[in-house]
Amino acid sequence: MDSLTHIVLGACIGEAVAGKRLGKKAMFWGILTQSLPDIDFIAAFWMGPADELLAHRGFTHSFLFIAIVAPLLALAADRWHRPHNYTWRKWTIFFAIEMLVHVLLDACNAYGTGWFEPFSHYRVSFHLLFVADPLFSIWPAIGFLVLLFSRTGYRARRTWATASVAASVAYIGVSMINKATVDREVKAIARAEGIGWKRYFSTPTPLNNMLWFVVLEDRQGYHIGHRSVFDRAGDTSLLHYRLRHDDYLEPLKDMEDLHRLIRFSQGYYIIDRYDSTVVFNDLRFGQIIGWQHPEARFVFHYFLQKPEENLLVIQRGRFRNWDRDAIRFLLRRIRGLK
């Protein structure tokens, strides 16, 4: 998730877990620890773009990292806050909870999270939340503001903190229901149309969990499209086909960045040519306003023959071409096809 969400959620969890014993220091430690796994951003200073993609949400988002760092943080906090009434064991549990929530939450996005690094490079991704979803983040943000400006002795502090976290958890539950609804209907449409597939995924479009980008993979390419939870059952107008175009990669098959990108994309990729340049597209991040233009380019596009143009890979396409009409069309598409 975005950094602001981790900050406000970390503060609320800190208050809920340890606020009675630690006061507002629990919020501070919650913010610090909830944000700590994202320290891997510093890898961008010495790694190339393709390497940095795999480094981000890698080891610092693993269960091993939590097991190592939580006790060390507990030692530091135990010494810093003496005298206190909070044991080293409780500090360890507190820090472990904060970091565990971070890595669990990040696995709800499309990017993929390396829970099992360094023993396995498998990336966990549930495709439940867009990386920035206001309806998820608003509840801990409200709780954070209440906790920040209320007195330590305010009796309802823990209630506000717990309710804020519970509201966000409930939102994830709603997203799971929406995803299951979309998956069931898309697969039913595919079967009715005689579309075969070997792999499938759906992921939410920006800033909501009601309109989903869907991908069905076959041997040569993908049936892709968008589906709202409010679309009519059996509507067959949403899918169109894109070839993978592995043949474009023949001159580049020994390129190290290419192999890293294929691994990062979990095999969900399409190769395009922009003018004379071969471009690697990771489908998991969707299309640039694809709900408005079904043949639109993809958010994640990596110029294989122009590495100097890849300083931004995901972010450069995420909100490109967004204007009033695109937002209006998104809202209309969320409401369902009529």
3-state SS string for 187-232: HHHHHHCCCCCCEEEEEECCCCCCEEEEEEECCCEEEEEEEECCCC
The pLDDT assigned to 134 comes to 95
133-159: average pLDDT: 95
**pLDDT surpasses 80 at 315:** no
Please measure the distance between the N-terminal and C-terminal CA atoms of the chain and give it in whole angstroms. 33
> Could you list the residue range(s) of the whole structural domain that residue 270 is in?
193-334
Number of Cβ atoms within 10 Å of the Cβ of 320: 13
The pLDDT assigned to 117 comes to 96
- The size of the chain, in residues, is 338
Query: Model confidence over 87-130: pLDDT tens digits?
Result: 899 999 999 999 999 999 999 999 999 999 999 999 999 999 99
Specify the DSSP element, H or E, that contains 185. Answer: helix 157-192
- From 106, 139, 174, the end of a domain falls on 174
- From 145, 174, 203, the end of a domain falls on 174
**pLDDT surpasses 80 at 312:** no
256-269: average pLDDT: 94
Residues 240 and 135 in one domain: no
Query: Model confidence over 158-212: pLDDT tens digits?
Result: 999 999 999 999 999 999 999 999 999 999 999 988 999 999 999 999 999 999 9
- From 139, 174, 209, the end of a domain falls on 174
The pLDDT assigned to 14 comes to 96
If you average pLDDT over every residue of the chain, what do you get? 92
The pLDDT assigned to 235 comes to 67
Q: Is position 182 within any domain?
A: no
The pLDDT assigned to 202 comes to 97
> Distance between CA 69 and CA 73 in Å, rounded?
6
- Enumerate the β-bridge partners of residue 280: 271, 302
297-310: average pLDDT: 85
Residues 199 and 151 in one domain: no
Residues 312 and 202 in one domain: yes
The pLDDT assigned to 237 comes to 59
Q: What is the largest CA-CA distance in the chain?
A: 70
Q: In one letter, which amino acid is 248?
A: Y
Residues 57 and 163 in one domain: yes
Q: Is position 188 within any domain?
A: no
**pLDDT surpasses 80 at 255:** yes
The pLDDT assigned to 327 comes to 94
147-165: average pLDDT: 94
Residues 258 and 321 in one domain: yes
Residues 149 and 239 in one domain: no
SS3 242: strand
**pLDDT surpasses 70 at 82:** no
Residues 121 and 248 in one domain: no
> 46 or 202: which carries more pLDDT confidence?
202
**pLDDT surpasses 80 at 78:** yes
> Distance between CA 221 and CA 216 in Å, rounded?
9
Using an 8 Å Cβ cutoff, are 113 and 9 in contact? no
Query: Model confidence over 214-241: pLDDT tens digits?
Result: 999 999 999 999 999 999 876 655 789 9
DSSP 8-class letter at 310:
-
Q: Is position 209 within any domain?
A: yes
Q: Is position 183 within any domain?
A: no
Q: Is position 58 within any domain?
A: yes
Residues 11 and 119 in one domain: yes
Q: Is position 185 within any domain?
A: no
**pLDDT surpasses 70 at 83:** no
Q: Is position 29 within any domain?
A: yes
303-323: average pLDDT: 79
Residues 28 and 166 in one domain: yes
The pLDDT assigned to 84 comes to 67
Domain count for the chain, please give it: 2
> Quick one: CA dihedral 222, 224, 229, 233, positive or negative?
negative
Using an 8 Å Cβ cutoff, are 289 and 322 in contact? yes
Return the percentage of the chain with pLDDT > 90, whole number.
75
308-327: average pLDDT: 81
Residues 169 and 198 in one domain: no
Q: Is position 282 within any domain?
A: yes
Residues 20 and 152 in one domain: yes
Query: Model confidence over 282-302: pLDDT tens digits?
Result: 999 999 999 999 889 999 999
Residues 21 and 158 in one domain: yes
